[in-house]
Chain A
Amino acid sequence: MEVAQQELQAPETKKATREISGSEAVLDAFLAEGVDTIFGYPGGAIMPIYDALYDYNDKLNHVLVRHEQGGIHAGQGYARTSGKVGVVFATSGPGATNLVTGLADAQIDSTPLVCVTGQVFAHLLGTDAFQETDVINITTPVTKWNYQVTDANEIPEVLAKAFYIARSGRPGPVLIDITKNAQIQKFNYEGYVPCNHIRSYRPKPIVRNQYIEQAAELINQAKKPFVLWGQGVILGSAEQEFKAFIEKAGIPSAWTILGAGAIPTDHELNVGMLGMHGNYGPNVLTNECDVLIAIGMRFDDRVTGRLDKYAKQAQVIHLDIDPAEIDKNVKTTVPVWGDCKETLPLLTALVEEKQHTEWLAKFKEFTRQEVEQVIHNELNPTTPEMTMGEAIRVLNELTDGEAVIVTDVGQHQMVACRYAKLNKTRSNVTSGGLGTMGFALPAAIGAKFGAQDRPVVAIIGDGGFQMTLQELGTIMQTGIDVKIIILNNNFLGMVRQWQELFNERRYSFVDIQSPDFVRVASGYGISGKSISDRSELKGALQEMLEHKGSFLLEIMVTKENNVFPMVPQGCSVAEIRLK
């Protein structure tokens, strides 16, 4: 899938070459690729690039982060809301190793990134030079592609490849390591030529009509078809094609955490979230449907639960751009290889117009039970203390689903993803596959740079916030408008929940203490407020949303609340527990 192709404004190939430095070639490539924002942190080995950047300041917005991990998460947030490639700078050694968590996160969540790291002089490679680390080998398992440049002449072509690989096919992170001599070296620059073909690389498999036909036949015969969709729909910009497909075939559809928002939360056929803390109906009925149609998702273990008891009764149709995903976890009856932006319209043309009224009603019945036993109490609690769910409910009332919701990892993430109302695609930014605590604050900064006309609300736990809170400094310096909600239960809540349920309440190192978050924010010049009483909730959220500029709202919530429903590890999705 071409990820929202960035405008390629390649300068016309000039006959006369001009002499420029490797560093200038890097920045020139960025301009040609339509890059507007770079998240980075300077250091010794990347100084020549930063020196060149000094002269590009009017064309490229460089955001100085407080830690390279913050830089790469910001790049991820930017890519997720804008659909463009996120660009990150870091220096050699510790600068580069600090990117690793973000690279792993972007790799598993298919986020397009181009990271440029400085490296020691080529003649020092392998000598344990100051701030030298073998970045290429460290990052190989967590990048879609990486490459070390030691000669400036390579830079235009390598960067063109980097952007092409990052955004095409199944997107992913690319790291380019450039030795300091190559950054300084002058060479004859012939202009930038964008890359659109690499001999050994097939971004997307070609579409096979026979599979489309077989899939359509299965769907047309199905009595209880069920669609599972993932981020592939969003990465492929195929939201409209997806909506047209499920509406014509009348199929109830559920989402993985990264697929959230591809169609609006309140769409008639949107039956909720899949997986460990997903909704009741989608989990139970996975093991009852007769045809399971997976679109742009990869059957993660958090979605499938126990595999040998997963949808065994169903015929499985799997639409995916990555052939390695087919049959990786769930055996497919019909594999529909290809970009779902292309395959979905072909499939829609062949499926019969239908309504599965009774089948859909079954989902609604499960929803009713879930509301009665879980959701109602979570969103409208009568306990003296507030719940995470009610904070999200009130937030929904105030934003009406128009905000970009950025979440960290843990209980608050599950609650926010379950209950946040999303009207638009690219509204949900979270660390799905890697589960990176500390993701949300920097990602929210990037998300705002990627979608400046939209409100961005970061929802973070008290644990995760303390992992990357230094990025408050980035907010202070850039003046970016990010709303931060800390749902503080004074616990590392998800681990505590597991210790309660599976380790006989042996609470081992989960009672985390927090600083006075409002004062911390105030130290960074960011306004804030802390509330612990329900009567203040709506007013405080309103104040936060209406505040000009960033605002931190700490909401004290009940300490020992559990996220339900839950599919316990090692159980089948049908064994989902409501309490």
Chain B
Amino acid sequence: MSTQDIEKQEFNITVYTENQIGLLSRIAIIFTRRKINIDSLNTSPSEIESIHRFNIVINETEDVVRKLCRQIEKQVEVLKVYYHTNADVIWQELALYKVSTNVIAEQVSVERLLRENGARAVVIRKDYTVFETTGHREETDALIKILQPFGLIEFVRSARVAIIKDSEGFNSKLREFERREPGEDVIENEYLNQGQKVFTM
């Protein structure tokens, strides 16, 4: 085992699926069964109509992630699973912050705050203001720290969405799935992909 296998780190799991009721729970129990916490889970449409995409973030060793991915891919309505480290994806999370307008207007240079944190005001009312920022975890966390002293009323962060750097999209792959006889490139695996830049299973 390489050290990479032993160390836990954040992995982004991308799952392409059919749109089917109950699939979320079928996928979730693969993690909960091993008592693994899902740090972030997002479902969304993909580039292809009727194909859904899950983005799941967990903190685990690569060895465990690989086994989980195979068990997810085994589910009847799952077409394909990929996993990547943070370095292999472009990812974003969105956060909203609600603060008292009075406090923030009196005590903070709002313009500087927005500029330095890449934030914008979504709503400004007499009683409260909602800021929004998008970015990596550290960036959205940073703004919490800044706003906390001024009485942060409410905070929420979205699940992570991630785009795979080296992906060429799912369109060509889907055509292979629709063929009755599977083509070579559908059954990818680590043994055949050794040496490739991006690891897919």
Contacts and interface: CB of A to CB of B under 8 A. Distances in A.
Interface of A: 136-137, 140-141, 144-148, 165, 196-202, 205-206, 208, 211, 322-324, 326-328, 335, 337
B73 A323 contact: yes
A198 B76 contact: yes
Judged by DSSP, the binding face of A is mixed
Contacts of A202: 182, 186-187
Contacts of A141: 29, 33
B67 interface: yes
A206 B182 contact: yes
A140 B67 contact: no
B70 to A, nearest CB: 4
A147 B21 CA distance: 9
B180 A197 contact: yes
9 contacts: A137-B25, A140-B26, A197-B180, A199-B18, A200-B18, A202-B186, A206-B182, A326-B70, A328-B70
Interface of B: 17-18, 21-22, 25-26, 29, 33, 66-67, 70-71, 73-74, 76-79, 177-178, 180, 182, 184, 186-187, 189, 191-192
Contacts of B192: 208
Contacts of A324: 67, 70-71, 73-74
A481 B15 CA distance: 50
A145 B76 contact: yes
Contacts of A144: 76
Contacts of A140: 22, 25-26, 29
A323 B177 contact: no
Interface centre among B25, B26, B33, B66 (most CB of A within 10 A): B26
A165 B76 CA distance: 8
Given A205-B187, A206-B182, A335-B191, A199 B22 contact: no
Nearest to A325: B70
Nearest to B74: A324
A200 B78 contact: yes
Nearest to B18: A200
A231 B10 CA distance: 37
Contacts, number: 61
A434 B29 CA distance: 19
Nearest to B79: A200
Contact of B177 (A147, A200, A328, A335): A200
A200 B77 CA distance: 5
Nearest to A200: B79
Contacts of A148: 21-22
Given A137-B25, A328-B70, 16 more contacts: A140-B22, A140-B29, A144-B76, A148-B22, A197-B180, A198-B76, A199-B18, A199-B178, A200-B17, A200-B79, A201-B76, A205-B187, A206-B187, A211-B191, A323-B187, A328-B67
A478 to B, nearest CB: 34
A85 B11 CA distance: 39
B48 to A, nearest CB: 12
Given A136-B22, A137-B25, A202-B186, A322 B33 contact: no
Contacts of B22: 136-137, 140, 146-148
A137 B177 CA distance: 28
A198 B192 CA distance: 25
A197 B67 CA distance: 26
Contacts of B18: 199-200
Contacts of B71: 324
Nearest to A170: B74
Nearest to A324: B70
Nearest to A328: B67
